[in-house]
Chain A
């Protein structure tokens, strides 16, 4: 649920209006791929064009949009509300390297020579740092690519590695700058770092209201800050409906809910048999049900309290925060549009 600060943001222009490269990270299991997809949809709304890039070869995007696995090729996968196109790309390191060699060095044949010697395998599998250089390089290229009418993409959304690796992943080109004192690789790495540290980039963090993901979010923010990388918004995903008013929640936690009232309510709802026709079996059933519901309410209230505490932890970060609900039916294309709309309403886009 949006708070006042969020409504204010929504009233003005979008929080990340000038950003062209949106990097989305989060702890595993928090739904960063879903959030990245919803963000790409939201950014494409109204006739714009976005690229949703994944770099971990997991084909999460294809599964989400229910399309066949993506090749190493930019493909249109969805139309945004009000016209607008979302393209998707699964960046594959080996193909990225050969493309890179061709693009920057015109190494058509020499690329093949390298492949025969195992250099390509080395670069893309044995030296995972180099793999990250290639992946970030491809994303950089897409973000900077220009056509006759200006930039090809209005925005690029990167479904990035999880929070545990994000600092290293984004900073890998800094390592390269440190290793290669001169030469074309150094220049390329330097340009990538310049884009990543500029106001055109925002690193968004996806979390859920649980201790470990919130802790990791805080750690990642500290790490990104130290590396001089621009921190974007915090997207709190899978927020649960509290269902009960605050006073009921605290009574539930304390085990002080009125059991008699619950029993009466269950009977009124006909869950003990036909109302007005009491039976021993019906009463026993209602009693059991009431106990079950009271236990569930206590557990639910404990959970809501924990979520509130985690929400307070996130506020300490002082970043724009957006909340997305849990979707009982799971995520499908329709759900993605709903989530995209919520991000827009809350002023992220």
Chain B
């Protein structure tokens, strides 16, 4: 993949100053994003804990936390209710709440808030809606952004509730899905398909059909052929019922998108020193710039550190082989091999990170050292937070 042999290890990214970010009273929303498996949720939780222990009133919105991480924050169920995280040191006047997103519940709430009770009941009972809202993949992105919008509205309306929201983004197929979701929803709702689907089920549908003419008739015919009449009727009922809700939906999606661009929001891109994760991070950084979304910097998790930096991998390996050849000092030879392996790992990570920094020299970065164990408790989170702050 690399074109040259030179390893750009010397380039240093500017440091990401996490405490300044967390202490900024104007900062209201921090969004953690990045590829799957890089420690996004852990980073979000650690940032939330650190902010709370520095006096912020924080709510952490997690999407799909690992069980033990969830337990470490006192989260036991998906219930959409922010609950206090036990064990945080709140001497500085801060507070820490956390919640797990209940996707279906969030969707239901949006429907209930925007439709008449009768219509809401009709929508909630529709089989197409039930499949879309609970079992089909992908609605997480919409609902995560919806929930963020709700939390932000609550923060604005009630300054005593929280003053900082830390959001973990869904484990999407692409890290960008959640960014695109609100806009995509907006453009879909303006689209012709919605009108076509809703037309036949509406009163006056026939008149509408005459106006829109053959193309629409053709499309409905094709859809009937594809889906079968019963499915199409379900879809039509569903879309017609949702119709009244859609205006509110679109406004909200647009507002959430604007919220992400607004001052008081910062994106933290999370990565690990691996090719895929850094590639995704690069892509994300570029995309955020295109969308005018404010990037705070990159958190690089799971970085390998050596404890005997001065001894290179090559030298350690050669020394180990010399000892092996002489058939003596097997213990030292073994330790030198362990060291050589670690240095090789570190060098490779640095080369990968250097490539990222080369392409994005202005993106501030902070490294979090690799740990042997996952985070199980608040102490573990606190250690991560300290690494984040120290850089």
Interface positions of A (Cβ within 8 A of B): 27-30, 33, 56-58, 60, 63, 66, 101, 105, 107, 110, 113-114, 116-119, 121-122, 125-132, 161-162, 164-165, 168-169, 172, 175, 178-186, 210-213, 215-216, 240-241, 243-245, 248, 257-258, 261-262, 264-266, 268-271, 285, 288-289, 291-297, 299-300, 302-303, 306, 328-330
Min CB gap A300→B, angstroms: 5
Do A56 and B174 touch across chains, with their CB atoms under 8 A apart? Answer: yes
In angstroms, how far is the closest chain B Cβ from the Cβ of A137?
13
For B141, the closest partner residue in chain A by CB is A128
Bound-state CA distance A116–B196 (Å) is: 12
Q: In whole Å, how far is B110's beta carbon from the nearest beta carbon of chain A?
A: 16
Q: Is B230 an interface residue (CB 8 A)?
A: yes
What is the chain A residue whose CB lies nearest that of B214?
A113
- Given A114-B223, A172-B136, A262-B331, 7 further pairs, Cβ under 8 A: A29-B277, A66-B1, A113-B222, A244-B334, A244-B338, A261-B331, A285-B310
A268, B323: Cβ atoms closer than 8 Å: yes
- B185: which of A57, A118, A126, A241 is its contact (CB, 8 Å)? A126
* B216 proximal to A (CB < 8 A): yes
B319 contacts partner chain A, Cβ-Cβ < 8 Å: yes
Question: Is the beta-carbon distance between B219 and A296 smaller than 8 angstroms?
Answer: no
- Taking CB atoms, residues of chain A closer than 8 Å to B127 are 178-179
| A114 CA / B196 CA spacing, docked (Å) | 11
* Cβ–Cβ < 8 Å partners of B308 in chain A: 288-289, 292-293, 296
- Cβ contact within 8 Å between B137 and A114: no
Task: Decide: B274 and A211 in contact? CB cutoff 8 A.
Answer: no
Contact mask for chain B residues 224-239; partner A; CB cutoff 8 A; 1 contact, 0 none? 0111111100100000
Q: How far is the CB of B198 from chain A (nearest CB, A)?
A: 12
Q: Is B85 an interface residue (CB 8 A)?
A: no
Show 18 A/B contacts (Cβ-Cβ < 8 Å), sorted by A. Answer: A110-B218, A114-B223, A128-B139, A169-B137, A178-B131, A179-B234, A183-B226, A211-B374, A240-B341, A261-B331, A261-B332, A292-B311, A293-B335, A296-B306, A296-B308, A299-B372, A306-B373, A330-B348
Kindly provide the distance from the CB of B169 to the nearest chain A CB, expressed in whole angstroms.
13
Interface contact tally, CB-CB below 8 A:
244
Q: Which residues of A contact B276 (CB under 8 A)?
A: 29, 33, 60
Residue B336 is within 8 A (CB to CB) of chain A in the complex: yes
Q: Give the complex CA separation of A152 and B329 in angstroms.
A: 58
Q: Which of A30, A180, A269 contacts B329 (CB 8 A)?
A: A269
- State whether the Cβ of B255 lies closer than 8 Å to any Cβ in chain A: no
B36 at the interface (CB under 8 A from A): yes
Contacts of A126 in B (CB 8 A): 184-185, 188
Q: Is B132 part of the binding interface, using a Cβ–Cβ cutoff of 8 Å? A: yes
Return the 6 tightest CB-CB contacts between A and B, nearest first: A265-B332, A28-B36, A128-B138, A183-B228, A129-B136, A292-B308
Interface set, chain B 308-367, CB cutoff 8 A to A: 308-311, 315, 319-320, 322-323, 326, 328-329, 331-339, 341-342, 344-345, 348
Expressed in whole angstroms, the minimum distance between the Cβ of A221 and any Cβ of chain B is 15
A56 to B309, CA, bound (A): 40
Within the complex, what minimum Cβ distance (angstroms) separates B246 from chain A? 12
CA distance A241 to B227 in the complex (A): 54
Docked-complex contact A117 and B231, CB < 8 angstroms: no
* Contact A180–B231 (Cβ < 8 Å): yes
Q: Which B residue sits closest to A109, measured CB to CB? A: B218
Known contacts: A28-B171, A110-B218, A162-B36. The answer to whether A105 contacts B136 by CB under 8 A is no
Report B53-67 residues with CB < 8 Å from chain A CB.
64, 66-67
Asked whether A56 lies within 8 Å of B173 as measured between CB atoms, the reply is: yes
Could you say which of B135, B218, B277, B373 contacts A113, with CB atoms under 8 Å apart? B218
| Chain B residues in 8 Å Cβ range of A269 | 319-320, 322-323, 329, 332, 336
**B272 touches A (CB below 8 Å):** yes
A121-B191, A179-B231, A243-B334 known; A127+B136 contact, CB < 8 A: yes
Over the window 276-295 of chain B, the binary record of Cβ atoms lying under 8 Å from chain A Cβ atoms (1 yes, 0 no) is 11010000000000000000
Contacts of B128 in A (CB 8 A): 179
A130 CB to nearest chain B CB (Å): 8
